[in-house]
Amino acid sequence: MLRKMISAAALAIVLAAGTQAHAAGGDAKVRVVFDQKLPNVPGKSMKAVLVEYGPGGSSPGHTHPASAFIYATVLEGAITSKVNDGPEKVYKAGESFPEFPGDHHAVSKNASKTKPARLLAVFVLNTDETELTTDDK
Q: Domain residues for 123?
A: 29-129
Q: How far is CA 77 from CA 18, 96, 102, 116, 123, in A?
A: 21, 13, 27, 6, 21
Cα–Cα–Cα angle for 129, 53, 77, rounded to 5 degrees: 115
Q: What is the pLDDT of residues 72-129, one digit of tens each?
A: 999 999 999 999 999 999 999 999 999 999 999 999 999 999 999 999 999 999 999 9
Q: What is the pLDDT of residues 34-59, one digit of tens each?
A: 999 999 999 999 999 999 999 999 99
**Residue 41's CATH number:** 2.60.120.10
The secondary element (H helix, E strand) that includes residue 5 is helix 2-18
The pLDDT-based confidence of 26 (bands split at 50, 70, 90) is: low
81: in domain? yes
40: in domain? yes
- CA 39 to chain CA mean position, Å: 22
35: in domain? yes
pTM (predicted TM-score): 0.79
Q: What are phi and psi of 92, to 5 degrees?
A: -100, 165
17: in domain? no
Higher pLDDT, 123 or 10: 123
> How many folded domains does the chain comprise?
1
The secondary element (H helix, E strand) that includes residue 34 is strand 28-37
Q: Return all residues near 19 (Cβ < 8 A) that are at least 6 apart.
A: none
